[in-house]
Amino acid sequence: MKKGLASSKERARPQAPLWAFGVLIAVLIVLYLPIIVMMVNSVLVKTDTWHFGFDWYLQIWNDEELVDALVRSLEVGLISSTVATLISGMAAIALLRSRFRWAHIVNSLSYLSLILPELVFALALLSWFFVLKIQLSLMTVIFAHVTFSLSFVLMTVNGRLATLDVSIEDAARDLGASEMTILRRVIVPAVLAALASGFLLSFLLSFDDFLITFYTSGVGSDTLPIRLYTAMKVGLNAKLSALATLMFLLTFTLIMGLTKMRGLRQILTEEGH
């Protein structure tokens, strides 16, 4: 019964029963099995017999449409996360370091964007662009991606600013620093890491988004997930597996980067509480 007492540093936690670990491991296997099958499929080439090779990856590289879609995905991701990081980073400072008059509206709108079903947001934007007679293009996709990234960046930067010791800023103020100097020399360096993880997180969200892009993209502005979806409707082949594997690996790398920055863990474990 007391077998679960961990090392003296940690709080005592009775060991969960073995079957609980069984469930956890089983779920992890079920989650990863299809992805592994997909990866294996992407490196198997059939000539006379099956053998290992990167032929499918070469085919992607030679497929101009796919490369174009990749470039568009990266473009949308980079632009939208830069804009989102800038806007939300500034807003976080205004919210926590000044008396911003509309603070409650900003807070409720950004909360709303977290709980609003993607589908409703997507069709709302589509109708809005239609009413304003804005032609759907890569630009509308970028507008949409900025909008859904904003609250994630705001959350990340807010989290950092809230724990930042204000006495440093007060000290700087006492020593005669102007607000701009405090911003430049104290606040920005302190939240730089949070801004970076906010940026990575929005890039990840943008790169992975399907539904909102599906609704807001026009002719010739489809991103990689849209390509994959359209191709999948026709049929599956090893080339698509290679494409999906590449996208998975990119996401994987980004997540590893985020985990190093602790930003992701913070968001994942503190979001729902």
Partner 1 sequence: MKRKPPPAPTLISNELAWFGYPLLLWLMFFMAAPLFLVIALGFFSRGEYGGVEAQLTLENFHRLFDPVYFTIFVRSITLSLVTALICLALSYPMAWAMASASQKWRLYFTVGLAIPFMTNLIIRVYAIKLCVGMDGPLQSLLTWLHISFDPYQISQNQTLVFYGMITSYLPFMVFPIYAALEKFDFSLVEAAEDLGASQLKVLFSVILPNTRTAAVNSFTLVFVPCLGEFVIPDLLGGAKTMLAGNLITEQFLKARDWPFGAALSLGLMTVLLVLPYLLRRIFIPKAKAAA
Q: How many residues bind partner 1 (CB under 8 A)?
A: 112
- 146 counts as binding partner 1 under rule CB under 8 A: yes
**Dihedral sign of CA atoms 76, 78, 81, 85 in order:** negative
**Residue 167 to residue 190: CA distance in whole angstroms:** 13
220: left (phi over 0), alpha (psi -120 to 50) or beta: left
Task: Report angle CA 118, 220, 148 to the nearest 5 degrees.
Answer: 25
Cβ atoms 160, 190 nearer than 8 A: yes
The residues that bridge with 34 in the sheet, in sequence order, are none
- Residues in region 173-232 near partner 1 by CB under 8 A: 173, 179-180, 183, 204, 207-208, 210-211, 215, 225, 228-229, 232
Binding piece for partner 1, criterion CB under 8 A, among 34-42, 51-59, 62-70, 191-199: 34-42
- 234 counts as binding partner 1 under rule CB under 8 A: no
Cβ atoms 87, 150 nearer than 8 A: yes
- Residues in region 61-80 near partner 1 by CB under 8 A: none
- 54 counts as binding partner 1 under rule CB under 8 A: no
Q: Output 193 or 211, the one with its CB closest to partner 1.
A: 211
- 19 counts as binding partner 1 under rule CB under 8 A: yes
Q: Amino acid identity, residue 120?
A: V
Q: Which of 81, 85, 110, 217 binds partner 1 (CB under 8 A)?
A: 110
Q: Which of 61, 127, 184, 188 binds partner 1 (CB under 8 A)?
A: 127
